[in-house]
A and B are shown apart, each in its own frame.
Chain A
Amino acid sequence: MMDERRIVRILLTTLALGFLGLFLVVPLVLVFAQAFSAGLGAYVAAIAQPDALSAIRLSLIVALITVPLNTIFGLAAGWSIGKFDFRGKGLLVTLIELPVAVSPVVSGLVFVLLFGAQGLAGGWLAARGIEVIFAVPGIVLATTFVTFPYVARELIAFMQSQGNEAEEAALVLGAGGVQTFLRVTLPNIKWSLLYGVIQANARTLGEFGAVSVVSGHIRGETNTIPLHVEILYNEYSFAAAFSVASLLVVVALLTLAAKRAVGWRAARRRAAAERAAIHRETGWADRPSARTSSLPGGRPAAKVTTVEV
């Protein structure tokens, strides 16, 4: 292996870490420093405040609705796109990715235009007394839009890489469609699924722009955790704002840790699969235990990986 000189290595590492420190570590530490700046009592009080609690409750309700919805969609999309070939597949995948590229504000706006007082369906809804915009349904809709691709993209990529042989084997052995899905496919994709769900969950709890447009910022009613942070901040209750924000930081850190753990499991499975593939290629059949490769923790669906055999 060829390498740079030691001084170059140290220099580059310092530069990279300096950049990450400035942009990632400082804000992260700062949130906790500010949160506890007024003492532990003030911290607990800020979180136990009724408006804060209702924001937490609303955020959890929204997550409980949108995450399962997007998970079911992700499974359907993963199955039909990952396991079958058909015309227009590429376009469909691009359309599924679309919400990631759309500004959250625009995502919120489209629902205002559809269901708002002046919106296309606004009159119809108003006549029936159904509130969507500036109410919980609007928040759920906007959040569903924003977090739409997260489970699906993981599952599509993973199921595509898995191929259909295991399912075919199950069918030949006499299993029905549902049995095949539950007993063969689902256990196979579980880590990928979990990884997608964790990501979708983090985005759901933290979504700000889209929700801000549709929520109407009614305290105690349509405020989610990030919106509550904004209100506190704009009222110059900095310590309280950072206290509530620290909850979201903890969620984010847990998400990173969970992703890491899940990604590691998925990577191990993937490495095993690739090892098997290499056995096939080279006919190194009788080497049951090869070393596991080190994979990037970030994406278990990494397209290129090295495997040492």
Chain B
Amino acid sequence: MYEVQEAHLPIRLHRRRRHILPGFGLGLGYTLTYLSLVVLIPLAALFLKAAGLGWGEVWTTVTTPRVLAAFRLSFTAAFLASALNAFFGLLVAWVLVRYRFPLRSLVDALVDLPFALPTAVAGIALTAAYSREGWIGRWLTPLGIEVAFAPLGVVVALTFVGLPFVVRTVQPILEGMDQEMEEAAASLGASRWVAWRRVVLPHLVPAVLTGFALAFARGLGEYGSVVFISGNMPMRTEIAPLLIVTKLEQFDYAGATAIAVVMLAASFLLLFAINGIQWCSRRRYGMA
């Protein structure tokens, strides 16, 4: 029914031909083969190994106090960091899109730094900054706030790695948003704050949620930046990915596999959640 849709959609739907453009079979064949070799078969190996262990043993491993503590820290820290990023990400996106200030485009570019900067480098830099004598840590220590080598350090590291997600999901929506809506709200007597909360915010919620989920997924699996700042104390500042590495170093492949399977399942769930949010918001607002 493409001709009918054409008339109503602002941007034309493109017709797709299966037979006329060449190379579909070759392209898809290569895509599927490469995907299977690099991603699917290796991931299947993990499930195969876990199945070989038996789900009973997987359960026993992941419910030991040390593993449970690691999972609790990973999930809590990832949640807190993503929540922090949801708030500040929204703020940063708003300021970048709506306000003009010196060096704005430099700041805009800098937001991507955590995407480009290797996590290990981020880890040592944050540790140096937030340790007791560090540039930031020295101001926090007198207040009794310990960041480096404490659970708070994990949150700081995860905030860093997850920082760009919310900004980058919210920014395009905000740029595409018609300010007439806000003006309409104002003309109807809404104060600036009410207009923002009732008119602007609802439009940004799907993007904020998507960004939150992306940051959460990233934070959950993050390893490089955390191992330096957390101190890696069992039961206190040890995150789940680190525990996998520890088990591997002790040649406890079964233990590592058990934890990894749980982590992978969490990744899958988050990926589905993200796709779900985007699907819903596309239906509702016609954009993701």
Contact = CB atoms under 8 A, between A and B. Distances in A.
Given A104-B221, A248-B121, A305-B175, A298 B256 contact: no
B38 A109 contact: no
Given A233-B124, A248-B117, A296 B42 contact: no
B176 A80 contact: no
B241 A209 contact: yes
Interface string B69-104: 000000000000000000010011011101101000
B241 A168 contact: no
Interface in B153-204: 156, 159-160, 163-164, 168, 171-173, 175-176, 179, 182-183, 186, 192, 195
B16 interface: yes
Contact of A298 (B112, B186, B253): B112
Q: Which of A106, A111, A120, A171 has the most CB of B within 10 A?
A: A106
Do most interface residues of chain B lie in helix, strand or loop, or is the interface mixed? helix
The interface size bin for chain B is 35 or more
- For chain A, which range describes its interface: under 10, 10 to 19, 20 to 34, or 35 or more residues? 35 or more
Interface in A1-55: 1-5, 9, 12-13, 15-17, 19-20, 22-28, 30-31, 34
A154 B160 CA distance: 24
A284 to B, nearest CB: 15
A248 to B, nearest CB: 5
**Dominant SS among interface residues on chain A:** helix
B27 interface: yes
A257 B163 CA distance: 18
Contacts of A141: 38, 42
Given A209-B223, A209-B241, A256-B113, A113 B257 contact: yes
Given A2-B186, A277-B11, A30 B110 contact: no
B126 interface: yes
A98 B271 contact: yes
A111 B135 CA distance: 40
Contacts of B22: 176-177, 180
Contacts of A259: 109, 112, 116
B28 A106 contact: no
A168 B117 CA distance: 41
B228 interface: yes
Contact of B28 (A2, A80, A208, A256): A80
B45 interface: yes
Contact of A109 (B11, B168, B175, B260): B260
Contact of B14 (A2, A165, A209): A165
A17 B107 contact: yes
B54 to A, nearest CB: 16
Contacts of A31: 121, 124-125
Given A27-B160, A103-B267, A305 B40 contact: no
A205 B183 contact: no
B172 A305 contact: yes
Contacts, number: 339
B31 A76 contact: yes
Interface string A47-87: 00000000000000000000000001100110111011110
Contact of B27 (A26, A76, A176, A238): A76
Given A12-B95, A206-B119, A84 B24 contact: yes
B245 interface: yes
A102 B253 contact: no
Considering residues B18, B32, B117, B129, which has the most beta carbons from chain A within 10 angstroms of its beta carbon? B117
A48 to B, nearest CB: 19
Interface string A288-309: 0000000111110011111000
A24 B129 CA distance: 11
A5 B30 CA distance: 56
A38 to B, nearest CB: 14
B108 A208 contact: no
A260 B266 CA distance: 33
A79 B27 contact: yes
A287 B88 CA distance: 41
8 contacts: A23-B160, A73-B38, A85-B16, A101-B218, A103-B260, A176-B22, A209-B222, A303-B288
Nearest first, the 10 closest Cβ-Cβ pairs linking A and B are A103-B221, A206-B118, A304-B176, A163-B14, A80-B27, A177-B22, A27-B125, A209-B223, A208-B224, A252-B116
Given A94-B275, A101-B217, 5 more contacts: A25-B110, A83-B24, A199-B115, A248-B121, A296-B168
Interface of A: 1-5, 9, 12-13, 15-17, 19-20, 22-28, 30-31, 34, 72-73, 76-77, 79-81, 83-86, 90, 92, 94-99, 101-106, 109-114, 116, 118-120, 141, 144-145, 148, 163-165, 167-168, 171, 176-177, 180-181, 199, 202, 205-209, 212-213, 225-227, 229-230, 233, 238, 241-242, 245, 248-249, 251-253, 255-257, 259-260, 277, 280-281, 295-299, 302-306
